[in-house]
Amino acid sequence: MAFTYDYPRPAVTVDVVALAATQAGPRILLIERAHEPFAGCQALPGGFVDPDEDLPTAARRELAEETGVEVGPLLEVGAFGAVHRDPRGRSIGVAYLAVFVGEPPAGRAGDDARSARWRSAQRLPKLAFDHRDIVRAARTRLAERIVLDGSAAALLSAPFTLAELALVQEQFGAAPTGRAALRARLRRDPRLHATGERRGREDLYRLAGAARR
């Protein structure tokens, strides 16, 4: 059934903050916008939500269309609705966070993106819209979840080593922790189950109950 409304409705958008903990330092996936507004500027992958889409579905679709990257678990960062955040008109954005460890999948530009690259998360370029605020909020949210959960294991879909899990905490945690002490604590975490496989000399682990991909 079709409906009409007497009041204008804002657009709904989604943005994805994809972070990676790597040996070279923390990385973030950014696109170069191909169209106005902010053509040529760096931005988070994202876009408008279709009328028949759930928000996480829209976030995964936009990320795949613009960068070719597919993600596992998504953590909702929050809603962003400053009145003038989008010069095209009133919009409400919902941001999601995805976490990788080790070398992340390469970006492949598509749709509205002129390029898609992993960049240093420590030296952000100028970002379009309110995306710098979104990145800051995402990092705060991730640090909070690491403290609450004891680790970032729930945000990693693929099997990981304790060294990789510790790397996420070192680069995105709220407070620095000695690596040896951190790995010893993670090894005692009853939620982490060894898969019986190895990466190099390191055992691979998975969070208990985590779905296989």
Q: What is the pLDDT of residues 112-166, one digit of tens each?
A: 899 999 999 999 999 999 999 999 999 999 999 999 998 899 999 899 999 999 9
Least confident range of 10-19, 52-61, 184-193? 184-193
Q: What is the pLDDT of residues 96-110, one digit of tens each?
A: 999 999 999 999 998
Give the pLDDT of residue 176: 62
For residue 18, the cross-strand partners are 98
Whether residue 185 is predicted with pLDDT greater than 50 in this model: the reply is: yes
**Of 15, 213, 12, 212, nearest in space to 112 by CA:** 15
For residue 135, the cross-strand partners are none
Alpha helices in the chain (DSSP H): 55-67, 131-149, 162-172, 179-187
> Are 18 and 96 contacting, i.e. CB atoms less than 8 angstroms apart?
no
Residue type, 55: L
> Are 88 and 23 contacting, i.e. CB atoms less than 8 angstroms apart?
no
What CATH number is given for 11-146 in this structure?
3.90.79.10
Question: In this structure, what DSSP letter does residue 83 have?
Answer: T
Give the pLDDT of residue 212: 45
Higher pLDDT, 124 or 209: 124
CATH class of 151-207: mainly alpha
Structural domain boundaries of the chain? 11-146, 151-207
> Are 175 and 29 contacting, i.e. CB atoms less than 8 angstroms apart?
no
> Are 121 and 26 contacting, i.e. CB atoms less than 8 angstroms apart?
yes
User: Residue 14's Cα: distance from chain center in Å?
Assistant: 12
Distance CA 173, CA 185 (A): 15
Say yes or no: do domains 11-146 and 151-207 share a fold: no
Q: Are strands 113-120 and 46-48 parallel, antiparallel or unpaired?
A: unpaired
